[in-house]
């Protein structure tokens, strides 16, 4: 479905199916050992899921975990809804939204007394190919519970990006818990220590335009 849909919209630069099995499906599944200790009914949010990576392969092999796939592009969410329907996945939902909007705490109270349905709601946030760590932490950290994890699928530049993100992680009350080498890249593991300050995430596009704690000269 991914290869087929990719002929009418831009989901991946990889057009060869064999290569896609390795670089997309197998790569997504390298997160399984990191998520192996999650309990049944745990919730995971995939930010900037695009063509469903890593969220869809993970949801297939972890049927007892609840997955929320988020993307800012409506067409991609329509595609993901078709995939969820075609495979018959019952543990996945796809939401068309910007991560900033889901993470913002406007102090609203829902009838059951809870603030914002997504902020500090998830056990784990995952993301691949969405942006540098300093920017991506602001999009993901607000969404996970205290003690929750952010798992970023990264490549060779992981250490460099981490160094640049040092101040951002501090501002977001989050630790770098470790980096795991996998056959296809690196998984950067962050652990949220305390509640995210209400100022984060900032408004739409701001985390990318001006990543937290990154000096203008150092920014690309
Ligand atoms: N995770 C997929 C897609 C990476 S492309 C993969 O690894 O193949 C990055 C995706 O993130 C795009 O689909 C884009 O629409 C989405 N995106 C970028 N910024 C976003 C934001 N602030 N909120 C939600 N989605 C975002």
Domain annotation covers residue 213: no
48 CA from centroid of ligand 1 (Å): 3
| Residue 176 covered by a domain | yes
CA distances from 61 to 80, 151, 172, 188 (A): 17, 17, 31, 21
Distance 173 CA to ligand 1 centre (A): 24
Q: Which residue has the tokens 């192996």?
A: 36
Q: Which two tokens stand for residue 147?
A: 């003690």
Q: How many domains does the chain have?
A: 1
Inside any domain, residue 123: yes
User: Does 121 fall in a domain?
Assistant: yes
Which residues have any ligand 1 atom within 6 Å of their CB? Answer: 12, 47-51, 53, 70-73, 76, 98-100, 128-130, 139
Dist. CA 169–CA 185, nearest whole Å: 22
Select from 1, 2, 10, 130 the residue to mutate for testing ligand 1; criterion: most ligand atoms less than 8 Å from CB: 130
Cis status of the peptide bond prior to 201, with omega within 30 of 0? yes
Mutation probe of ligand 1 site: the residue of 11, 57, 72 with most atoms within 8 A of C-beta = 72
Q: How far apart are CA 1 and CA 102, in angstroms?
A: 28
pLDDT value, residue 220: 53
Intra-chain end-to-end CA distance of the chain, in Å: 34
- The residue-averaged pLDDT of 192-217 equals 94
Confidence of residue 28 (pLDDT cuts 50, 70, 90): very high
What is d(CA 76, CA 81) in angstroms, rounded to the nearest whole number?
A: 9
Question: What is the per-residue pLDDT across 30-55, written as a single tens digit (0 to 9) for each?
Answer: 999 999 999 999 999 999 999 999 99
Residue 215: predicted pLDDT:
86
**pLDDT bucket at 108, cuts 50 / 70 / 90:** low
Mutate to test the pocket of ligand 1, among 29, 31, 50, 103 (most ligand atoms within 8 A of CB): 50
- Establish how many alpha carbons lie within 13 A of residue 124's alpha carbon, considering only the half-sphere containing its beta carbon: 25
Ligand 1, atom 10: nearest CA belongs to which residue?
Answer: 48
Residue 61 sits in a domain whose CATH number is 3.40.50.150
Position 105 scores a pLDDT of: 72
Neighbours of 202 (CB within 10 A): 15
Pick the atom of ligand 1 nearest to 204's CA: 22
Ligand 1 center to 112 CA (angstroms): 31
What long-range pairs does 76-83 form, CB within 8 A, spacing at least 24? 76/9, 76/11, 76/49, 76/50, 76/51, 79/1, 79/5, 79/9, 79/11, 79/51, 79/52, 80/49, 80/51, 80/52, 80/56, 82/1, 83/1, 83/52, 83/56
Q: Whose CA is nearest to atom 6 of ligand 1?
A: 53
Residue 19 DSSP label: H
pLDDT, residue 167, reads 98
Count of C-beta atoms within a 10 Å radius of residue 161: 18
Q: Tell me if 204 is assigned to some domain.
A: yes
Is residue 17 one of the residues assigned to a domain? Answer: yes
Over residues 4-22, mean pLDDT: 95
With a pLDDT cut of 70, the percent of the chain lying above it is: 93
What pLDDT is stored for residue 107 in this prediction?
A: 63
Which ligand 1 atom sits closest to the C-alpha of 55?
A: 1
Whole domain around residue 202: which residue ranges? Answer: 2-208
pLDDT digits (tens, 9 = 90+) for 64-86: 999 999 999 999 999 999 999 99
Q: Looking at the domain assignment, is residue 215 inside a domain?
A: no
Q: For residue range 114-138, what is the model confidence (pLDDT) as tens digits?
A: 556 899 999 999 999 999 999 999 9
In a domain, 195, yes or no: yes
pLDDT for residue 5: 96
What pLDDT was estimated at residue 111?
65
Question: CB–CB of 23/53 below 8 Å?
Answer: no
Mean pLDDT (the chain) is 94
């Amino acid at each position: 479905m991914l290869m087929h849909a990719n002929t009418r919209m831009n989901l991946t630069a990889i057009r060869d199916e064999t290569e896609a099995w390795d670089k997309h499906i197998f790569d997504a599944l390298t997160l399984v050992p990191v998520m192996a200790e999650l309990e049944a009914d745990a919730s995971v949010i995939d930010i900037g899921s695009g063509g469903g990576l890593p969220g869809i392969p993970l949801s297939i092999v972890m049927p007892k975990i609840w997955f929320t796939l988020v993307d800012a592009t409506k067409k991609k969410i329509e595609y993901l809804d078709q995939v969820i329907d075609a495979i018959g996945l019952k543990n996945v939902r796809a939401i068309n939204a910007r991560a900033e909007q889901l993470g913002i705490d406007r102090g609203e109270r829902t009838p059951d007394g809870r603030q914002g349905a997504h902020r500090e709601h998830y056990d784990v946030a995952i993301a691949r190919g969405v942006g540098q760590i300093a920017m991506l932490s602001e999009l993901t950290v607000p969404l996970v519970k205290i003690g929750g994890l952010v798992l970023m699928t990264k490549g060779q530049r992981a250490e460099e990006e981490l160094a640049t993100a040092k101040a951002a992680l501090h501002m977001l009350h989050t630790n770098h818990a470790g980096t795991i080498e996998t056959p296809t890249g690196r998984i950067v593991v962050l652990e949220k220590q305390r509640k995210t300050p209400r100022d984060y995430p900032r408004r739409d596009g701001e985390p990318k335009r001006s990543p937290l704690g990154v000096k203008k000269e150092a920014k690309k």
